[in-house]
Structure 1
Amino acid sequence: MKLSTLAAAAVTTWVTATSALAEKEMVISSWLPPTHIMNEIVWPEFISRIETATDGRVTGKIEYQLASPPSQADLIEDGGADAAWIFHGYNPGRFVTTKLIEIPGLEGDSAAASAAHWRAHQEILGEANEHDGVVPVAMMVHAPGMLHLSQEVSSLDEVAGLKIRSGGGVMGDVLAGLDMAGVQVAAPKVYETVANGVADGTFFPGDTIAILRLTEVLPYTYRVPGGFYRGSFSIIMSEEFLDSVGEEDAAAIQAALGEDFSAFAGSAWDEGNMRGIEAQQSTGQVIDLTGDASAKFDALVPSIQDAVLEEVRAKGVDADAALEIIRSTMAEYSSQ
């Protein structure tokens, strides 16, 4: 069944089910506009699965602007909301093992990568306990990241010195490797930052540039095969909230999410990415860089991979085994 059909079914189920009184209602924190795929597709499916798993005893509602994007994990730990989605790159130092799924050179779509991210976390990377204080119930990866600029370039040799918004993670490693200057700004502030000339561009997947109207100020989108990076996210829940619903429902909720839901969320990111690319193509340009035009980046890829593996090993986990799980899982999903 196509994702769009699944999404429509999820929304219908959500609207119908939430009309009934549930014993527990989660407060779900979200930090991008209601039209973003997280709020349009992923969260409704999340709520629907939880309602089904608990026979309607637990439901949820989405609320916005409860905290800044980098503060979402703290929001959940402090009891300000019961569930949220976090971008790991916003918390450098706390999340290191999650960079492994972000490295360029991994083959497969976001559904495959998200499932692989979850499996590697469950089997190996979770041992680093980077999500201490919250409960990860799904892992996500957005579509391969692209470079969006306010000016046209013919190759990556011409981007040195440009001021580029960075969200952290491998994105920041790529930015530094291409000799660009990083501007640390959370996603909702990028339009203003670019419009005011503080930044010349940003790295993002397609869906985000469309939702944030960045096609208005960044008319040139540059792609490389496999993407410059992949962005790592997790969906987290409050330990206290899960305790409050009882052991049986808490176990049912976690069983209804995990790898299968991670793959679903990744598929939503893929769909959103296509929307964004189409939006950019309608008013600007989407340019594929290959050969000499992408040579500077191509030369970076092995060193980025090696550096991330070293960072993850330093967290006391088997980075090489985790990367093998990622590669094999992505191949498994890609062959389906």
Structure 2
Amino acid sequence: MKLRHLFAAALSTTVLGSGLASAQTVFTVSSWLPPTHTLSTVQKNWCDMLEKESAGRMKCNILPKSVAAPPGTFDAVRDGLADISYTVDGYTPGRFINTQVAEFPFLGDSSVATSVAYQRIYSKYFAPLGEHRGVKALAVFTHGPGIIFNSKKPVTSAADAAGLKFRIGGGNINELSKAMGWNTTLKPAPESFELLSTGVMDGTFFPDESVASFKLSMVKHATTFPGGLYNTSFVFMMNEGKYKGLSPQDKAVVDKLSGEVAARMFGEGWDKVDAASRDMQKSMGVARIAADKAFVKAVMDKQDYLETKWAAAAQVKGLKNPKGVLAEFRAEIAKVK
């Protein structure tokens, strides 16, 4: 009799254990940047928080390599090739319009400030318009202020920049570069080392972080702008079907860790590596100069037209009072601590 009870107890434990295992949700997670890059590490940290907050009901399986090239990542998550990843909106030109508001020059000197403010504006104005339809947008964020880096000479004016070839990441900076008459080519960030080391490009537009992350030892000159020459809009996302399939309890955990929580995590990570890269650039002997008033004005003059052009396109997409939203975004950046 005792043996029969022991067998029944063991069987019950096995069934219960298998029930628990089957109840666990595992997300496949993809990153098109190296595991050491701040976006990869923050994504992993977010996954760790997700597992902890859900008491192990949800966890992540971080894939050893990306399921798609950077420009194809949005569609890869939408189609279920991966459950969670991030991408740059500007890698697919013309697809995302409202998000370009986060890519304009002179927005701010901190990724935390621009990212948190962007998330607030996105939640209030952009999310209801569904521009990221097809995925569950967990958060939006930006990198640190964009800088002109090159291996050839100091860039002290728009004319200096026009004499060089640059890699850019897309978005508003693509339009601004054309308006300025600069020779730029749209390429994903991971291709930068090869482009610069082979001399195909003379430089790249990047935040500070990228000089260290992509080992751009050939960089000798940097030109900074107040609030950055440009910014980049990122979306951190989950497959929509995967999200909808979660229990209400687990959806609540995902929601708790999304929005400003995730945006701030990405921003803090980027600010930290920006600062570390600036120190590294000093040891590399990178000559760093600040754009003068004439250079800044030359950019502003072209950007004024681009903001008007963006406002018209955003209005067609359903955004009411785009110029007012942009002004609110800038004011929100100043509030973020």
Q: Quickly name the TM-score band, shorter chain normalised.
A: 0.7 to 0.9
Q: Which residue of 1 aligns with 2:201?
A: 199
Displacement of 1:205 after TM fit? Answer: 0.5
Q: Is the 8 A contact 1:83 1:238 kept in 2?
A: yes
Q: Which residue of 2 aligns with 1:33?
A: 34
CA distance in 1, matches of 2:259, 2:297: 38
Q: Is the 8 A contact 2:193 2:215 kept in 1?
A: yes
Q: Is the 8 A contact 1:111 1:270 kept in 2?
A: yes
For residues 301-322 of structure 1, the C-alpha deviation after alignment (integer angstroms, 9 at most, x for no partner) is 4333333323322212122342
Q: Which residue of 1 aligns with 2:6?
A: none
Moved more, 27-36 or 158-167: 158-167
285, 289, 295: which is aligned to 1:287? 289
Q: How does 1:206-221 map to 2 (within 5 A)?
A: 206-214=208-216, 216-221=217-222
CA distance in 2, matches of 1:248, 1:322: 34
Point out where structure 1 has 5 or more consecutive residues left out of the alignment.
1-19
For residues 214-260 of structure 1, the C-alpha deviation after alignment (integer angstroms, 9 at most, x for no partner) is 1x222211111111011110100011211333232123212222112
For residues 40-83 of structure 1, the C-alpha deviation after alignment (integer angstroms, 9 at most, x for no partner) is 2x113311331233222001132222210011111111211110
SS at match of 1:124: helix
CA distance in 2, matches of 1:234, 1:49: 19
Q: Is the 8 A contact 1:110 1:143 kept in 2?
A: yes
Q: Is the 8 A contact 1:105 1:301 kept in 2?
A: no
For residues 271-325 of structure 1, the C-alpha deviation after alignment (integer angstroms, 9 at most, x for no partner) is 1211222222211222222234544324334333333323322212122342243
Displacement of 1:132 after TM fit? Answer: 1.2
* Residue 331 (structure 1) aligned with residue 334 (structure 2): yes
Cα–Cα, structure 1 residues 137 and 190, in superposed 2: closer, same or farther, change >3 Å? same
Q: Which residue of 2 aligns with 1:310?
A: 312
147, 164, 167: which is aligned to 1:165? 167
* Residue 89 (structure 1) aligned with residue 90 (structure 2): yes
CA distance in 2, matches of 1:61, 1:221: 38
Point out where structure 2 has 5 or more consecutive residues left out of the alignment.
1-19
Q: Which residue of 2 aligns with 1:115?
A: 116
SS at match of 1:30: coil
SS at match of 2:116: helix
Displacement of 1:34 after TM fit? Answer: 1.4
Amino acid at match of 2:175: D
Q: Is the 8 A contact 2:109 2:228 kept in 1?
A: no
CA distance in 1, matches of 2:115, 2:278: 21
Q: Is the 8 A contact 1:108 1:330 kept in 2?
A: no
CA distance in 1, matches of 2:269, 2:307: 27
CA distance in 1, matches of 2:53, 2:257: 6
Amino acid at match of 2:123: Q
Q: Is the 8 A contact 2:139 2:235 kept in 1?
A: yes
Q: Which residue of 1 aligns with 2:139?
A: 138
Moved more, 278-287 or 218-227: 278-287
Q: Which residue of 2 aligns with 1:59?
A: 59
SS at match of 2:162: coil
* Coordinate RMSD, CA, aligned: 2.0
Moved runs in structure 1, 4+ residues, more than 6 A? none
**TM-score, length-scaled by structure 1:** 0.87
SS at match of 1:135: strand
For residues 137-164 of structure 1, the C-alpha deviation after alignment (integer angstroms, 9 at most, x for no partner) is 1111100100111211352221114221
**TM-score, length-scaled by structure 2:** 0.87
Which has the higher Rg, Structure 1 or Structure 2? 2
CA distance in 1, matches of 2:166, 2:313: 24
Percent identity, aligned pairs only, is 29
CA distance in 2, matches of 1:75, 1:96: 20
SS at match of 2:141: strand
Q: How many residues align?
A: 313
173, 176, 193: which is aligned to 2:178? 176
Q: Which residue of 1 aligns with 2:129?
A: 128
SS at match of 1:137: strand
Cα–Cα, structure 1 residues 249 and 321, in superposed 2: closer, same or farther, change >3 Å? farther
